[in-house]
């Protein structure tokens, strides 16, 4: 969606590159980091960390408030934060978490395990706050003492750990008096994070000052965060190019030419491939996509090298046959024989597979089902998402060469999403679900427990594929607390995915991050990959790692 105006921006860029204009830029005061993550024309003062993620201002989830553990997606590990350690007890039915000592709320009251128990209790009584669905597997949360909290599980469900530790914690002494925590705008937050003081709030700009009582000694070194309101991606990009913004998470077309070249010593970007993988989903309840050979053939027909070049300015790479993004770079990979790799571009083998599946070619070269119906399909995509539209065009052309009459059909976003949710499509582009382990990712790609009949809304598994083997592995995963054994099960899940080809991975999405080192240093980079560099990675607290690592440069 933030790509809609990319074309018009590109036009402007051509004009920009021709000139090198010097301009008097109104810099933010020294030590104030200017961030652009949300695109709004005016700000609404909402710092409620419990309601839907998009409602509250960006720093609320990871900056003002903090989760129990931070997930570092570059190293694929949890970093102790408000919690310092955890252990599984009573046959993995109880998770005991030890909270950090010496943490103060920004109003000076101590943070304790009771705040944690209170937060989870609040979510229990307000289902609208249960963003991660934790009360689908929990039965009770109790503080044992000021530093210990026990999570009692309804059933053994190890992956629930990731959702529990990602929860932002609110102070009991404030929130116990709030009548309706769902619509509470929390205008003056009391929190544990590095930036808690609202120094300024206007509809075009707001500033968050540092928390004077932050538990990490001497941090943050950044004095305040400033957020100017930019209503569009173009406008935010221009601000970035002209040094008005220090840190951003936008899509920038042709970034080397547009951004880096202007000031190579300070303009940097790093796009690690830690986003969700983009898939081509074929509806597996409809013939011939119920045949694994057909799905593999479709996949082998796609020239992914061309696709990432045409659709994504080469910001990504062709997906691996397991579909996993670089978040799982440290997880073991199965040995896959050359001929079993159906993510490799091989039109001859694709043709052979379709012949074998009994989809012969008619007189005009178009293939047809055994009953004579020609293979004529639409690939659904969203109008205005230019990367997806271009990717679909590449796919349609490649499938055409295979004898499948595929055409691209763009829909308005909502219309498209409804068709996808209800499974009323032959082929569509779509994203996949992120998580610290491959459990969530594979569950929504191939678990029979997530399959709903066509016409009924299904929030995941849109292609409606159920695998018995996958369900066994996923079930084993649910009760496996040992990280080493988990990785073995991850291996098993990858093998099942490669054998059954439930969906066709195209490319992992990059995590967008641009930064300007003229005023601050210490951003994650390819040379110093200490965390994901993108301000968009706030769901599991990762931006906290960056905010606490930045240092202002002293002006000469």
Partner 1 sequence: MRYILRRLGFYLLAAWAALTLNFFLPRLMPGDPAAALFARFRGRLGPEAMQALRETFGLTEAPLISQYFTYLGHVLKGDFGISVAYFPSPVLEVIGTGLVWTIFLAGTAVIVSFTIGTLLGVVSAWWRRGLIDTWLPSTLVFIGAFPYFWLAMVVLYVLGFTLGWFPLGHAYGDDMTPGFSATFLADVVRHAVLPIATVVLVTLGGWLLSMRNTMIAVLGSDYVNLARAKGLSPWRVVMRYAARNALLPSVTGFGMALGFVLGGSLLTEIVFSYPGQGYLLVQAVRNQDYPLMQGIFLVITLAVLGANLLVDFVYLWLDPRTRGSA
What is the contact surface with partner 1 in residues (CB under 8 A)?
1, 8, 11-12, 15-16, 19, 21, 23-24, 26, 40-42, 44, 46, 48, 51-55, 127-133, 136, 163, 182-185, 202-205, 228-232, 235, 238-239, 242, 275-276, 413-415, 417-419, 421, 431-435, 440, 444, 459-460, 509, 536, 539
- The whole-angstrom separation of Cα 159 and Cα 483 is 11
Token pair 């065009």 is found at 393
Comparing CB distances to partner 1, the nearer of 40 and 551 is: 40
- The whole-angstrom separation of Cα 1 and Cα 525 is 26
- The whole-angstrom separation of Cα 49 and Cα 182 is 10
Q: Shortest distance, CB of residue 323 to partner 1, whole angstroms? A: 12
- Tell me if residue 68 falls in helix, strand or coil: coil
* Residue 341: CA count within 13 A, CB half-sphere: 13
Comparing CB distances to partner 1, the nearer of 490 and 539 is: 539
Distances in Å between the alpha carbon of 114 and those of 111, 119, 465, 473? 8, 9, 43, 36
Q: Are 70 and 90 in contact (CB under 8 A)?
A: no
Comparing CB distances to partner 1, the nearer of 88 and 242 is: 242
Q: Shortest distance, CB of residue 375 to partner 1, whole angstroms? A: 27
Comparing CB distances to partner 1, the nearer of 398 and 434 is: 434
Q: Shortest distance, CB of residue 387 to partner 1, whole angstroms? A: 11
Comparing CB distances to partner 1, the nearer of 45 and 286 is: 45
Nearest of 427, 479, 456, 529 to residue 72 by alpha carbon: 529
- The whole-angstrom separation of Cα 308 and Cα 317 is 6
Comparing CB distances to partner 1, the nearer of 51 and 299 is: 51
Rg (CA), the chain: 25
Q: Shortest distance, CB of residue 292 to partner 1, whole angstroms? A: 24
CB atoms within 10 A of CB 212: 10
3-state helix, strand, coil in the chain (%, to 5): 30, 20, 50
Q: Shortest distance, CB of residue 288 to partner 1, whole angstroms? A: 28
Q: Shortest distance, CB of residue 450 to partner 1, whole angstroms? A: 8
What lies within 8 Å, CB to CB, of 33 at 6+ separation is: 222, 224, 225, 226, 246, 247, 519, 520, 550, 552
HEC string of 182-198 equals CCCCCCCCCCCCCEEEE
Comparing CB distances to partner 1, the nearer of 127 and 362 is: 127
Q: Shortest distance, CB of residue 53 to partner 1, whole angstroms? A: 6
Comparing CB distances to partner 1, the nearer of 12 and 336 is: 12
- The whole-angstrom separation of Cα 169 and Cα 196 is 14
Q: Shortest distance, CB of residue 406 to partner 1, whole angstroms? A: 23
Q: Shortest distance, CB of residue 442 to partner 1, whole angstroms? A: 13
Comparing CB distances to partner 1, the nearer of 99 and 233 is: 233
- The CA angle 164-165-171, to the nearest 5 degrees, is 90
């Amino acid at each position: 969606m933030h790509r809609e105006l990319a074309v018009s921006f590109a036009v402007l860029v051509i004009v920009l590159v021709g000139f090198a204009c010097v301009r008097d830029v109104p810099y933010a005061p020294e030590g104030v980091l200017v961030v652009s993550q949300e695109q709004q024309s005016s700000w609404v003062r909402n710092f409620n960390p419990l309601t839907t993620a998009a409602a509250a201002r960006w720093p609320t989830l990871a900056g003002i408030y903090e989760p129990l553990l931070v997930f570092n997606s570059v190293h694929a590990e949890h970093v102790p934060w408000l919690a310092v350690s955890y252990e599984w007890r009573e046959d993995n039915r109880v998770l005991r978490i030890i909270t950090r000592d010496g943490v103060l709320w920004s109003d000076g009251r101590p943070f304790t395990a009771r705040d944690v128990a209170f937060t989870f209790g609040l979510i229990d009584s307000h289902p609208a706050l249960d963003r991660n669905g934790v009360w689908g597997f929990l039965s009770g949360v109790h503080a044992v003492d000021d530093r210990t909290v026990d999570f009692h599980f309804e059933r053994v469900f190890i992956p629930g750990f990731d959702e529990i530790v990602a929860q932002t914690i609110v102070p009991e002494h404030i929130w116990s008096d709030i009548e309706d925590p769902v619509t509470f705008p929390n205008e003056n937050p009391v929190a544990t994070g590095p930036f808690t003081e609202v120094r300024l709030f206007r509809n075009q700009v707001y500033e968050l000052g540092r928390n004077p009582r932050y538990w990490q000694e001497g941090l943050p070194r950044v004095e305040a965060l400033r957020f100017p309101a930019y209503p569009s991606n173009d406008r935010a990009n221009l601000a970035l190019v002209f040094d008005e913004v220090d840190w951003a998470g936008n899509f920038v077309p042709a970034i080397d030419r547009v951004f880096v070249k202007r000031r190579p010593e300070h303009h940097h970007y790093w796009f690690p491939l830690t986003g969700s993988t983009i898939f081509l989903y074929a509806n597996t309840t409809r013939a011939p996509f119920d045949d694994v050979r057909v799905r593999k053939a479709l996949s082998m027909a796609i020239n992914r090298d061309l696709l990432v070049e045409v659709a994504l300015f080469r910001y990504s790479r062709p997906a691996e046959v397991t579909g996993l993004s670089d978040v799982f770079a440290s997880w073991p990979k199965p040995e896959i024989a050359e001929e079993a790799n159906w993510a490799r571009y091989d039109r001859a083998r694709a043709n052979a597979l379709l012949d074998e599946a009994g989809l012969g070619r008619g007189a005009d070269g178009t293939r047809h089902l055994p009953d004579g119906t020609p293979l004529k399909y639409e690939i659904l995509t969203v109008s205005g998402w230019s990367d997806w539209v271009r990717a679909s065009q590449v796919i349609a052309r490649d499938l055409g060469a295979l004898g499948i009459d595929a055409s691209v059909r763009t829909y308005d976003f909502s219309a498209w999403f409804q068709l996808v949710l209800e499974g009323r499509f032959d082929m569509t582009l779509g994203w996949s679900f992120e998580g610290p382990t491959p459990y969530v990712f594979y569950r929504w790609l191939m678990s029979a427990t997530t399959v709903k009949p066509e016409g009924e809304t299904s929030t995941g598994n849109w292609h409606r594929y159920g695998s018995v083997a996958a369900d066994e592995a996923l079930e084993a995963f649910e009760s496996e607390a040992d990280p080493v054994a988990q990785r073995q099960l991850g291996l098993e899940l990858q093998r099942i995915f490669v054998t059954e080809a439930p969906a066709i991975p195209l490319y992992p999405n990059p995590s967008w991050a641009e930064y300007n080192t003229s005023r601050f240093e210490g951003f994650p980079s390819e040379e110093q990959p200490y965390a994901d560099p993108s301000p968009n990675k706030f769901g599991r607290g990762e931006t906290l790692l960056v905010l606490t690592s930045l240092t202002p440069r002293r002006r000469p």
